[in-house]
Amino acid sequence: MSLVLDHRTPAPNFVAIKQRQQATWASGDFAIIGEGITDQIVIKHILWGFFDTWDDDPVITFEQPPNDATERRALLPLRFTQPARLSFRYRSANNSAIEMNSDPATTPVCGWVLFNHLDDNLMIYDASGNALGSLNIRGPLWSGAPGNNATYNRPIAAALEGANPHLQAFAIGIYNNPGAVGFLQDLLDTIDATITLVNPQSADQYQAMSVLIGRPLALVRASLALDVRGMPALNQSWSSFEDAVTNGQALEARDTAAFQSVGFPVRLGDLANINDGLIGYFCDNGSAGVYQTFYAAASTSAANGVVPPAPNQLTVSADANAPPVLLSMLVDPRASVHATAGIVPVKDIQIPPYMFAAALKNDSAV
């Protein structure tokens, strides 16, 4: 990429600009390259023989010259110059390789949970809204659902047989957690703290919901990745081009400054947005302890496995061969979930109501 400065009318000011040879991203410190003697500058952005003229005054000017070297810089935010998007998608609860689409069979809902304030437990429901049992703070850690002969007074593994595998892994993962009671208490506290901040403006409200029973939350599957259009951007400096010609490099072997290996952090959810329904998430990395660490922004303690996510907890890269990040999320399905990376626009996804309305009607607690 080249920046060509077209000087026009003389004037005493200073121009902050920097020519960059690498077109992968535009970021970092832009050093002042010299004293300007213009009051109008036209910048031509030249790439692969084509150019655009920037006429909307993108130049930072200074009335007086900087006093020292530390002031001779202007900072621009990190951005891709290559077209890119954050690929945040709901995945089928029955097959994580399939993205949710208009077919109800691709619903991402694995099952449902409810915070029972009266008994201080987490009630578990299958994807259709049928009660399976509860995980309890007091008394036995697991108890089957009364009135359901298939689950009542049966061990958790037997009671959940036939349920969605991810719902099974979620409930059994908590049950087998060495600190299960502490984890469950922190999870319930986090749900209680977050759900009061979720009130989607365009969704129907639960008018008949008892104050003793929380809102139904869906355990859903999702994936996160970063897509760039075409091949990774190449180093367009003359020296890199000369090396490529001299050594007969194939296009795929050209220098990209290895930007495909750079991990960009992504933040899920937004506690300040009443239209965001994320409670928290589990990172499905295939390990046995997937459901023993729950990442939630509203968490106030990390002692029992319910932890606030680190700034770089989730990262994505432009590597086309990198697998997507798989997630199991607890969400209020009436609201969307937002993913923020800073380098691309915010992405939000939402489950169509027809994919969960029948389950909510079938849910006896609702």
**pLDDT, tens only, 187-235:** 999 999 999 888 887 666 555 455 557 789 999 999 999 998 888 888 8
The DSSP element (H or E) to which 295 belongs, if any, is strand 294-295
Q: Does the pLDDT of residue 10 top 90, yes or no? A: no
Q: Where are the alpha helices (DSSP H) in the chain?
A: 156-159, 165-175, 180-195, 238-247, 357-362
Q: Give the position of tokens 């009542």.
A: 152
User: Among 53, 59, 54, which residue's Cα sits nearest to residue 36?
Assistant: 59
Domain shared by 29 and 152, yes or no: no
> Do 25 and 90 fall within a single domain?
no
Please give the residue that has the higher pLDDT: either 56 or 289: 289
249 located within any domain: no
pLDDT at 204: 64
pTM here is 0.76
Report the share of the chain in percent with pLDDT over 70.
Answer: 75
pLDDT over 80 (residue 21): no
Contact 204, 313 (CB under 8 A): no
Q: Are 203 and 265 in the same domain?
A: yes
Whether 160 and 298 map to the same domain: the answer is: yes
Q: Are 240 and 254 in contact (CB under 8 A)?
A: yes
Q: Are residues 68 and 97 in the same domain?
A: no
* 74 and 90 share one domain: no
Structure-token match 């409670």, residue found = 279
Looking at this protein, which amino acid is placed at residue 17? I
Around 48, how many Cα atoms within 13 Å sit in the side-chain half-sphere? 4
Mean pLDDT of all residues in 285-293: 87
The predicted model gives 323-342 an average pLDDT of 94
What is the spatial distance between Cα 287 and Cα 291, in angstroms, rounded to a whole number?
Answer: 9
Give pLDDT, residue 12.
Answer: 37
CB atoms within 10 A of CB 238: 9
Report yes or no: 278 and 155 within 8 Å, Cβ to Cβ: no
Q: Report the distance separating Cα 354 and Cα 102, nearest Å.
A: 10
Select, from the ranges 5-9, 22-26, 276-280, the one with the highest average predicted confidence (pLDDT): 276-280
Answer yes or no: do 90 and 71 share one domain: no
* Cα–Cα dist 321/316, whole Å: 12
Give residue 69's pLDDT: 54
| Span 41-52, average pLDDT | 45
Q: Which of 254, 250, 205 is closest to 234 using CA atoms? A: 254
Which residues, in sequence order, are bridge partners of residue 226? 86
Query: At which of 26, 59, 81 does a domain end?
Result: 81
Q: Give me the pLDDT at residue 72, please.
A: 54
The reply to whether 200 falls in a domain is yes
Q: DSSP class of residue 353?
A: G
- Contact (Cβ atoms closer than 8 angstroms) between residue 191 and residue 214: yes
Number of other CB atoms surrounding residue 269 within 10 Å: 25
Q: Which of 13-22, 246-255, 341-350 has the highest mean pLDDT?
A: 341-350
**pLDDT above 80 (res 37):** no
Statement to judge: residues 202 and 170 lie in one domain: yes
Residue 134 pLDDT > 50, yes or no?
yes
> Using 50, 70 and 90 to split pLDDT, how confident is the model at 166?
very high
Q: Which of 47, 81, 115 is where one domain is finished?
A: 81
Q: Find, among 308, 300, 324, 322, the residue nearest to 222 by Cα.
A: 324
pLDDT band of residue 333 (cuts 50, 70, 90) is very high
pLDDT per position as a tens digit, 71-108: 555 566 667 778 889 999 999 999 999 999 999 999 99
Higher-confidence residue: 126 or 77?
126
**Do residues 68 and 93 both lie within one domain?**
no
What is the count of structural domains for the chain?
2
If asked whether residues 120 and 171 sit together in one domain, one would say yes
Quick one: pLDDT at residue 77?
Answer: 67
Q: Is residue 241 part of a domain?
A: no
Strand-pair category, 294-295 with 306-307: parallel
Taking 60 as the threshold, does the pLDDT of residue 16 lie above it? no
Q: What is the mean pLDDT of the chain?
A: 80
Indicate if 158 and 305 belong to the same structural domain: yes
Q: Give the structural domain span for 164.
A: 86-225+259-362
